[in-house]
Structure 1
Amino acid sequence: MSFKFQINNDVTFNHNEKLLQKADQYKPQIYRTEVDAKKLVSIIEDTTKLEKVGVKVVENADKLSQQQMARNDSVILDFGQHCVGKFSIHIEHVGSPMDAPLSFKIKFAEMPNELVHNSNEYNGWLSKSWIQEETTHLDRLPVNFNLPRRYSFRYVQITIIDTSPKWHVKFSNAKAIVQSSADSTIVSPLNTNDSKLKAIYNVGITTLHDCMQDVFEDGPKRDRRLWLGDLRLQALTNYATFNNTSLVKRCLYLFGAMTSTDNRISANVFTDQEYVPDDTFMYDYSLFFISVLDDLERHEFDQTVLDDLYPIAKHQWQYMLPFINTEGRVIPDENYTVFVDWSNEFDKTTSAQAITIYALKQLIHLAKLVNDPSLTEYKTTLTLLENYAKTKLYDAKQKLFVSGGNKELNISSQVWMVLAHVMNDDTNQQIMINAIKKLFPVKGIATPYMYHHIIQALFEANLKDEAIKLMKNYWGKMIDLGADTYWEAFDPDNPNYSPYGSPIVNSYCHAWSCTPVYLLQKYLN
């Protein structure tokens, strides 16, 4: 697994103030709720949990105020749920007057295993500034201590660095002010008697809820950005749950307002303070701007949004045209990353062909809505792309798609060609049956992002039982390992896998993982 940072300092960006103002018109209401710490817990070995790290309840959190703490003492608070928000706690001293400051460390964790890793030993390729730790000095007590930064956590570990031999410290009233722009009161339950699927569904809802902030964030612990690939999946899941279409429109306007001067859309934008597009570009993510717009218009038609953003969607397609040769073959530039999945261990050229077809079909639908005279040209190009896929990439003997010069068979090629509906329904079903025989169990893939597409392709091929089985084996296993929300990365064959060199920076609540909710609502309800 690998992902290469892009640094494109020579790229300049547009800032369309009219579109940015429209984005701000869709700023969401943020719902805030106070959550008290529930339990005091200790770390134990538990072979059934992630990294064999579990927790044992020591006592109720209201007993915290009875503990007098001094140098090297530590306590772990369990809030009983995944929280995204700000933390506060009351602190006072006990004994003689304070003859030295209180120094203590607070460590926030989404999962118990994070608490056993020493941040000083982290040497991964992501910035260690994402590690959720704070070291604080307080000169005067008592105080209601409020941390200004937002955190993503269930567990909070407080470790005393030092007080003084003359006095101790005690804590009480630990609270989290959790926040989200999702209205939990309108979500419908899953109509099933299957307890495992209900659990998978409910954890997915929590995952999406906690990633819905001022925009659809990719992860509330780390990155906290608006990514186009995540947005596409979040928006679809949102339509099936919270139905906050205004937030989708806000995100689309942000992307549309800040294209590069050559009309490309950045793969992600920063929104924490001023709006800043990242200098990262991905072939498939740019095309997914078309997808998000089309999905929105199919779900809730909005003429104004369509009129504002269709030209930008069209620009994405026009930028892609030089990557299509006269045969109808997609040949992306190596400097214009085709993401598909983190893994670079498989050839992605056939996946890129399929994603291009997938997005073009959605562009054609949008073009019909606006009576675009380019519609005939789009249909001609679609025929060219599909014919190349059928005649050059489809192996009729194996009934599978091949990819690259070595005619590699990989799961992604089959999945995206099925999702693009290049072949008829019967052939698509046979493709996925053969994929199960030859390419299952899935290997070398560690993202729920790719697993989503695999499972959706199984559903689209009318292989419902196989789709449910894979969903239970993948998302269900995260729950078995202790997940309150779904993770950015997970390899069932290596549950302790981290793409960053240490689980301490892993995102255990991540947007592209929420999609079982969408899949179950779409294909089962």
Structure 2
Amino acid sequence: MNVGQKLKTVTQTCNYIKMNNNLKIKLHLAQLVVWLFLLSGSFTFAQQTSGEATWIWYPGDFEIDLANKMQNRRTERGSFFPVFWKTDSHYNLVDFHKEFDLSEPEEVQIAVEGKYNIKIDGKAIPGFPDNIIMPAGHHKLSLKVYNQAHVPAIFIDGQTVKSDKSWLVTFEDKEWIDQSGKVSDQSGTTWLQAGSANLNSVQKLPSNYALPVKPLNPVDSQKTELGTLYDFGKETFGFIKLEGLQGSGTVAIYYGESKEEALSIANCETLDHLEIYETSATDSILELSKAFRYIQIVTSEKVSIQDVSMLFEYADVEDKGSFKCSDERINEIYEVAKYTFHLTTREFFIDGIKRDRWIWSGDANQSYLMNYYLTNDSPTVERTMVALRGKDPVTAHINTIMDYSLYWFLSIYDYYLYSGDPTFIKQFYPRMQSLMEYCLSRRNENGMMEGLAGDWVFIDWAEGLSKEGAVSFEQVLLARSLESMSLCAEIAGNPEDSSKYDALAKELKSKIFETYWDSEKGALVHSVVNGKPKDNVTRYANMFGIFFDYFNDSQKQAVKNKVLLNDAVQQIVTPYMRFYELEALCAMGEQDYVLDEIRAYWGGMLDLGATSFWEEYNPDKEGSEHLAMYGREFGKSLCHAWGASPIYLLGKYYLGVKPTKPGYETYDIKPVLGDLKWMEGTVPTPNGKIDLYCSKKEIKLNSDEGTGNLILKSKSKPKTNHGTFVEIASNTYALKITPHTEYLINYKAL
């Protein structure tokens, strides 16, 4: 069976699974589906080779459709658990075209997902051909595709005529004809560049996309009172495989990120109950993937299982960044953060692999930043941003959360800064604009964002945290979002919008300080309720104001001492906001303090046996208290995307690498060892990497692109084998870094 036949069989089998009520047959068919994907090769978003054909579609449609499929796989104790927000669908009729200049006639292969017609220079070709001859000369090839069930997509492959992102697409061509049959010369159609995910083989149908899998075995098993407990050694994700399943009766599988959860038949978060009919020994793979370290399998008397294994499901993204240092504790934390990041990197950047398995904008914003310092995988960032935004009209905030809409704006300009690619902004600027106008429509009479009916003001999981009134944190996020919109409008070629959003940002920033800044407290107060500022101070707006550079120097010092280093201000207990708190402290030069916090906070989870980092960690809790959340005994996620933040902190604030112009055209390197004796690592760039080794006496440095600015603090002027250091402040020196040059620098660390 060739790959195409396998995929056809997969489609037919999936449809039969949906229609068949016999669970025994379902198990066998689900096994067949998974193994056919294995045998047909992994569906990875590999980089497209120049001149290679790929499947294309209307931009954003594949991402939205894939997100719908992924997010609606969630179950809780066997029940379907759908998302809380509006879901959109793909356009079911899409027009594709491109113009070509051919020196000679060319045979072109055609594959389409949907019902279609083909035109050359506006003349339709009869039927549904799978190959055509394009004549020599200048010609326009057009396809119009209809597909209600799946995303309309095409794959065109000839010697030079190939489908790729340069094709133009629309969901409404706005053509019209006059009484003579002449087609209009001007239709007013908006054409966009085609979307793609680099599915570079005709057999890799977009509708059949699935992550690759590989087999894994448990590291231990032991009998329990009711069945058998299997330990896979660490947090994992995939499909359970029951080997040599035979008999007639029931199989119950109880999943657990902890042993306690797997053993709790009444309270584990996820489970499977199977009815097995009379059968001889066979291997069966469960239909839905799950997160677990442990599983407890309980069978009825007449059912037996010879062995248990799993198919580990993963996103095939490559590590391009790295970090290692003199402190093995930090190294261990970094490695577990990496593993956490990879587990939560799937078709999209998701929050946690056990409970939600959804795409949350706040969680994703942090995953993007970690990504830039580890895998630098642009396609996953773009897919996630598109899936989160969905389509117009805007009827609610992203994920229904006010702050999550605002994080989305921040993430877009970050993406441009780290990738240097303006395509996303140019394509999706109208969706940015409509979401921002929705946000602005939710302001109160004072021009502040305030939670209205249907708005979830999240901020953080923190006991007793007030969300009432106009919260300063939301205003700070809105100001930054408006600044991002101004920059994006300029990139999209809309200078009037750019000026408008810039003026709104400046006006709001002025209001923030007039309304919330308390000079005696040395901080922005938390909220304004009924027009009156409250007395309480929280960390949120204040720490964001630091790395947004909204404070002057004296205000920064006041915030650092009176808020960030003040134990009397309510402590943060989620890795989510620890991420930003520690970033603010790093931005203030507190790397020694931050290293101690990383050792204590993330190291505290390791001391409790964590193999991935959690949704929340409170060192004051004991025993099984660490597993509970949301009023449920095992409600806490023990593998949560926001737990992997040391990847970002160590790359940006210790190796000290960050772009200063989009795509690392220019960048800074400000290495800070803190209390480390040495560190080394790699930061990926769009077309290469930056390698750095740093001790208290020596630096080795090499980069592949852009112009860098190495900034060092040294007791005396550093010596270098290339270029010349310039003193820019007391005991602070700068060196211009050019690509493909091995720098060896000697200095005396302060």
TM-score by length of 1: 0.78
C-alpha change, 1:6 and 1:206, in structure 2 (3 Å) is closer
Aligned match of 2:335: 202
Aligned match of 2:581: 454
Per-residue CA deviations over 1:464-505 (Å, capped at 9, x if unaligned) read 222222222222211111111112233332252533222334
Aligned match of 1:341: 460
Residue 523 (str. 1) matches residue 523 (str. 2): no
Q: Which amino acid aligns with 1:300?
A: S
In 1, distance between residues paired with 2:434 and 2:284? Answer: 50
Per-residue CA deviations over 1:318-373 (Å, capped at 9, x if unaligned) read 22224446765443435422211133622350111111122222223223323432
Q: Which amino acid aligns with 1:307?
A: K
Give the SS at the match of 2:250: strand
| 203-212 vs 457-466, which moves further | 457-466
Q: CA deviation at 1:423?
A: 0.5
Question: Of Structure 1 and Structure 2, which has the larger fraction of its residues in helix?
Answer: 1
In 2, distance between residues paired with 1:211 and 1:8? Answer: 20
Q: Residue 328 of structure 1 contacts residue 381 of structure 1 at CA under 8 Å; is this kept in 2?
A: no
Per-residue CA deviations over 1:448-467 (Å, capped at 9, x if unaligned) read 21221211221122222222
In 1, distance between residues paired with 2:83 and 2:346? Answer: 27
In 2, distance between residues paired with 1:6 and 1:77? Answer: 29
Aligned match of 2:215: 34
Give the SS at the match of 2:325: coil
* Pairing of 1:116-515 with structure 2 (within 5 A): 116-119=263-266, 122=267, 130-163=269-302, 169=304, 171-172=306-307, 174-184=308-318, 186-259=319-392, 261-262=393-394, 264=396, 266-267=398-399, 281-324=400-443, 329-333=448-452, 335-343=454-462, 345-348=464-467, 349-372=471-494, 373-404=496-527, 405-439=533-567, 442-443=570-571, 445-494=572-621, 496-497=625-626, 498-515=628-645
Q: Which amino acid aligns with 1:523?
A: Y
Q: Which amino acid aligns with 1:478?
A: M
Q: Residue 254 of structure 2 contacts residue 262 of structure 2 at CA under 8 Å; is this kept in 1?
A: yes
| 134-143 vs 282-291, which moves further | 134-143
In 2, distance between residues paired with 1:111 and 1:8? Answer: 27
| 284-293 vs 331-340, which moves further | 331-340
In 1, distance between residues paired with 2:277 and 2:635? Answer: 28
Per-residue CA deviations over 1:83-133 (Å, capped at 9, x if unaligned) read 21111132367xxxx6xx3533222222223134342xx4xxxxx8x5234
Give the SS at the match of 1:342: coil
Per-residue CA deviations over 1:411-436 (Å, capped at 9, x if unaligned) read 22322322332212453243122114
In 1, distance between residues paired with 2:196 and 2:631? Answer: 38
In 1, distance between residues paired with 2:330 and 2:351? Answer: 24
C-alpha change, 1:257 and 1:391, in structure 2 (3 Å) is closer
Q: Residue 389 of structure 2 contacts residue 398 of structure 2 at CA under 8 Å; is this kept in 1?
A: no
C-alpha change, 1:441 and 1:262, in structure 2 (3 Å) is closer
Sequence identity percentage: 22
In 1, distance between residues paired with 2:312 and 2:654? Answer: 32
Structure with the greater alpha carbon radius of gyration: 2
Q: CA deviation at 1:225?
A: 1.5
In 2, distance between residues paired with 1:231 and 1:316? Answer: 18
Q: Residue 111 of structure 1 contacts residue 483 of structure 1 at CA under 8 Å; is this kept in 2?
A: no
C-alpha change, 1:501 and 1:116, in structure 2 (3 Å) is farther
Aligned match of 2:27: none
Q: Which amino acid aligns with 1:36?
A: N
Q: How many residues align?
A: 457
Q: Residue 29 of structure 1 contacts residue 181 of structure 1 at CA under 8 Å; is this kept in 2?
A: no
Q: CA deviation at 1:262?
A: 3.7
- Gap regions ≥5 residues in structure 2: 1-80, 96-150, 153-193, 200-208, 528-532, 656-750
C-alpha change, 1:215 and 1:104, in structure 2 (3 Å) is same
Q: Which amino acid aligns with 1:486?
A: F
Q: CA deviation at 1:307?
A: 1.0
Per-residue CA deviations over 1:275-294 (Å, capped at 9, x if unaligned) read xxxxxx22111122212211
Q: CA deviation at 1:81?
A: 2.7
C-alpha change, 1:482 and 1:427, in structure 2 (3 Å) is same
Aligned match of 2:29: none
Q: Residue 341 of structure 2 contacts residue 367 of structure 2 at CA under 8 Å; is this kept in 1?
A: yes
In 1, distance between residues paired with 2:549 and 2:463? Answer: 25
Output the aligned Cα RMSD.
Answer: 3.1
TM-score by length of 2: 0.56
Q: CA deviation at 1:229?
A: 1.4
Aligned match of 2:41: none
C-alpha change, 1:263 and 1:153, in structure 2 (3 Å) is same
Q: Residue 105 of structure 1 contacts residue 133 of structure 1 at CA under 8 Å; is this kept in 2?
A: yes
Q: Residue 364 of structure 1 contacts residue 378 of structure 1 at CA under 8 Å; is this kept in 2?
A: yes
Aligned match of 1:105: 252
Residue 84 (str. 1) matches residue 206 (str. 2): no
C-alpha change, 1:295 and 1:524, in structure 2 (3 Å) is same
Give the SS at the match of 1:190: strand
In 2, distance between residues paired with 1:217 and 1:31? Answer: 17
Question: Of Structure 1 and Structure 2, which has the larger fraction of its residues in strand?
Answer: 2
C-alpha change, 1:481 and 1:315, in structure 2 (3 Å) is same
Q: Which amino acid aligns with 2:335?
A: N
- Gap regions ≥5 residues in structure 1: 44-71, 123-127, 268-280
Give the SS at the match of 2:436: helix
In 1, distance between residues paired with 2:596 and 2:570? Answer: 13
Q: Which amino acid aligns with 1:352?
A: E
In 2, distance between residues paired with 1:206 and 1:448? Answer: 16
In 1, distance between residues paired with 2:493 and 2:264? Answer: 58
In 1, distance between residues paired with 2:423 and 2:601? Answer: 40
In 2, distance between residues paired with 1:290 and 1:362? Answer: 6
Q: Residue 294 of structure 1 contacts residue 362 of structure 1 at CA under 8 Å; is this kept in 2?
A: yes
In 1, distance between residues paired with 2:534 and 2:231? Answer: 52
C-alpha change, 1:487 and 1:8, in structure 2 (3 Å) is closer
C-alpha change, 1:104 and 1:379, in structure 2 (3 Å) is closer
Give the SS at the match of 2:323: coil
Q: Which amino acid aligns with 1:79?
A: F
Aligned match of 1:67: none
In 1, distance between residues paired with 2:587 and 2:382? Answer: 27
Q: Which amino acid aligns with 2:421?
A: D
C-alpha change, 1:459 and 1:523, in structure 2 (3 Å) is same
